[in-house]
């Protein structure tokens, strides 16, 4: 019984590894994010049926929003632009510093 349980556990663990693969349906995977030569970063996503795609994060300039508790700073939001292949892209306007510490 222990062998069957151990075998079943191994099969289930191996099958979850296959479930993590990106689905590209025969196409080359889309690179994102891409660090450009000038240290700007381009974010890409395939969404041909989407009407609008936005990105937000602490790398964007903050904006001030009035709330019931006073004025608060929130991360900015930027619109991605769609190309003829249904790929939406946004390239940062400034150098994005690395969060990886250097020794």
Per-residue pLDDT at 19: 44
As given in the structure block, the two tokens for residue 31 are: 């690179």
- Structural domain of residue 29, as residue ranges? 23-103
The span from the first CA to the last CA of the chain, in angstroms, equals 52
Per-residue pLDDT at 39: 81
How many domains does the chain fold into?
1
d(CA 16, CA 85): 31
Q: Is the pLDDT of residue 101 over 90?
A: no
In this prediction, residues 38-43 reach a mean pLDDT of 88
Per-residue pLDDT at 87: 94
- Residue ranges in 1-103 assigned as alpha helix (H): 2-19
Task: Tell me if 16 is assigned to some domain.
Answer: no
pLDDT, mean over the chain: 79
Between 94 and 32, whose confidence is greater?
32
d(CA 24, CA 2): 39
């Amino acid at each position: 019984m222990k062998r069957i349980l151990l075998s079943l556990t191994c099969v289930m663990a191996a099958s979850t590894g296959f479930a993590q693969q990106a689905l590209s349906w025969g196409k080359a995977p889309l690179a994102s994010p891409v660090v450009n030569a000038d240290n700007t970063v381009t974010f890409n996503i395939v969404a041909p049926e989407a009407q609008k795609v936005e990105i937000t994060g602490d790398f964007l300039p903050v904006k001030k929003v009035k709330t019931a508790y006073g004025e608060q700073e929130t991360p900015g939001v930027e619109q991605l632009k769609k190309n003829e292949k249904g790929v939406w892209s946004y390239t940062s306007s400034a150098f994005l510093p690395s969060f990886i510490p250097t020794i």
